[in-house]
Amino acid sequence: MDGTLWQRAEVVRMSGDTVWVKPCLATGCAQCQLSSTCGQGVLARWAGRQRAEIALVRNESVDHLLFDQLMPGDMVELGVSGSHFVQASALQFVLPLLSMVFFAMLAEYCGAADSLVALLAFVGLAVALWMISWWRRPVLKSPYIHRVFPRAH
């Protein structure tokens, strides 16, 4: 096993050198007995209300030959490196928490009032979210299209 995570997605639209896809929902979750406690089932129910679109840029994540064949309605299989997924998870979840704790502890160490400690914790959160948006491009790799399943014409 190569450590790559796979997900099917539907091509929604194309604009210039960008293809927009929506990940498909897990279809077996409704029948599964563990759907109420399984993370995939919980995510599938949440995503059922609103599925995010993912932009794939031709130069970064789409093979040029595959890109030219894509049409709205086509299904594609996206691949994401497992290590990049772990990096993205750490960046999205651990960094804000550590930043909040660091700013709060710094304020507490300096003898700030409780209200200022809470305010600086939120400042730490804002700093972490800014850092994530700034680091997102160079650190996180986009999913890539592994296979195309053309729609029936």
Select the more confidently predicted residue: 18 or 128.
Answer: 128
Segment 110-120 mean pLDDT: 93
17, 56 Cβ separation under 8 angstroms: no
pTM: 0.58
pLDDT of residue 1: 44
Return d(Cα 120, Cα 100) in angstroms, integer: 8
pLDDT of residue 34: 60
Segment 101-126 mean pLDDT: 94
Encode pLDDT of 60-105 as tens digits.
Answer: 545 566 677 788 888 888 777 777 778 777 788 899 999 999 999 9
pLDDT of residue 56: 77
Which of 17-26, 86-95, 113-122, 125-134 is least confident?
A: 17-26
pLDDT of residue 103: 95
pLDDT of residue 6: 81
Encode pLDDT of 19-75 as tens digits.
Answer: 888 887 665 555 666 655 555 555 555 555 556 777 777 765 455 666 777 888 888
78, 6 Cβ separation under 8 angstroms: yes
